[in-house]
Chains A and B, each alone.
Chain A
Amino acid sequence: MDKELMEALARRAGLDKALAEFPDDVAAAAKQAASVAGKIKVPADPRAEPWPPMKPGDGL
């Protein structure tokens, strides 16, 4: 993720103050996110269902 995109995303998330006061931490957070998301295998079936976040019950 380049610096321009990182700063744009941070501003869109409302992190202007963090960007001004802790630019290294914002950059580290962006780098961490970028390194993680790409490691997930996208399920081949586009109809694959996500985990229903709140699905209690005996079977989960």
Chain B
Amino acid sequence: MNVETGAPTTELATDLHWMTVARAASAIARRELSPVELTEALLKRIERLDPRLNAFIKVDAEAALQAARTAETEIKAGRSRGPLHGVPVGIKDIIDVAGLRTTGHSKVLADSPLATADAVCVGKLRQAGAIILGKLSTHEFAIGGPSHDLPWPPARNPWNTDHHPGGSSSGSGSGVAAGLFPMALGSDTGGSVRNPASCCGIVGLKPTYGLVSRRGVFPLSFTLDHIGPMTRTVEDNALMLEAIAGHDPLDPGSAAASAGHYHAALDLGVRGLRIGFVRHFHEIDMPAEPEVTASLEHVMRTLQMAGADVRDIHLPSLGEFSAVNRVILQSEAFSIHAAWLRTRPGDYGKLARRRLMSGAFFGSADYVTANKRRMEMIAAVNAALAEVDVLLCASSMDPACRIDNPAEIERTYPRQARTPFNNTGHPALAMMSGLSSSGLPLSVQFVGRYFDEAMLFRVARAWEQASGMDRKHPPIG
């Protein structure tokens, strides 16, 4: 691995398409940049690059430009909506946007009625002044993919379009990394925000369970679903979470917690922090590619040199975390899809059909046992986080493989350490740890205590600043 040079990268932060949320919003607020100019620039880039990336299912250019004009008028009149005002965002297509169809990237919902209301998280983004650009590709119903037998093609990785971008929030990861938009919403049930963040070299957060409302999001698994922000920088991720977090009395899983001031503690550094390194995930449970292991060691040493106290931590095995996740996820998902699977099995792609039907073969005792074991896993992670402030571990054990190699996809997709924290509900953030010798992103994951996303951002920011990962962009043009 060559962290510093790696593959060809572009570092032109002055290009509008590489502007961060924070920089764009600041320039817009100072009236040095027009939201219309920014939106038009991104729409042109989408028109040019998306035929290669397939990040979008639906570009809503007209509505985006109208929203940008409204934002411009508001800002000129001195009515600021805050740090997302005038900044474009993409929305994963399992999340409702009023006036657009929510397809789940599936033939099953390809002709469904248009959504009549925004999902809560989308409404909050709109309230904060964000410009909705359109709906983004996903693995079918956030579970089946990457698939080539759906009504829309799968998204591709901007670092190398022959490779997959991870999933299930595949269009979100691809588009943020390619500079089609600076932020996107994803969902994460078994790692679906953090997988594309890992494959595409961006920052993806699965917040604490219940911190972001799920209302208006097509469910995959009620007790494992999380909505999370995907951005190119840690700061932008914090800004986006501040906008979308908060209690929703109409979401039965919503936590009695309000949004924090995640942005405030970003630059406090890691001196004196205790970081637990979960080595056995990538060294024993699922031995990672050597380049992944080397990059994790590099992250660990960098944080250590910045003053963190790093120690080894042991958790239950990845294989068991994964099994618990599968039983719960597929049982709950089958209950959601059973009626369609019974009457319209041919309207699903092969991967989703197989994965969703698995839920029919679990018994009630399997489901309850998985949830009992889940409680023990929660206790184990809580005990670890009583000893340290943050956990550091692998996200993906391999860089993204070719999208046209189903055997390699089947082998590498489960080789990950993200499902543990869907099971336990702890916040977890994945980001770039370096580049492989083939020029594809490698990744690291940080995990925090419940509702302590601020600590995650603080550690992630320290790594980002030491490594310059936020300045590495794919050579997509």
Contact = CB atoms under 8 A, between A and B. Distances in A.
B326 A36 contact: yes
B360 A57 contact: no
Given A9-B361, A36-B326, A54-B222, A29 B355 contact: yes
Contact of B370 (A18, A29, A40): A40
Interface residues of B, number: 50
Given A9-B360, A29-B361, A36-B326, A57 B372 contact: no
Contact of A41 (B366, B373, B450): B373
B437 interface: no
A60 B327 contact: no
B307 interface: no
Interface of B: 208-210, 222-223, 252-257, 319-320, 323-324, 326-327, 330, 334, 338, 341-343, 345-346, 350, 353-362, 366, 368-376, 378, 425, 450-451
Nearest to B223: A53
21 contacts: A10-B361, A13-B361, A15-B342, A17-B343, A18-B342, A25-B345, A25-B353, A26-B357, A28-B354, A29-B355, A32-B355, A36-B323, A39-B323, A40-B327, A40-B366, A43-B376, A51-B374, A54-B222, A56-B210, A60-B209, A60-B378
Interface residues of A, number: 38
A33 B210 CA distance: 28
Contacts of B374: 50-51
B358 A56 contact: no
Contacts of B357: 10, 15, 18, 25-26, 29
A60 B327 CA distance: 21
Q: Does more than half of chain B's interface fall in helix, strand or loop, or is it mixed?
A: helix
Contacts of A13: 334, 338, 342, 360-361
A23 B115 CA distance: 35
Contacts of B324: 40
A60 B450 contact: yes
B296 to A, nearest CB: 25
A4 interface: no
Interface string A17-57: 11001100110111011101101111100001111011011
Given A37-B323, A56-B210, 6 more contacts: A9-B361, A15-B345, A39-B319, A41-B320, A60-B255, A60-B450
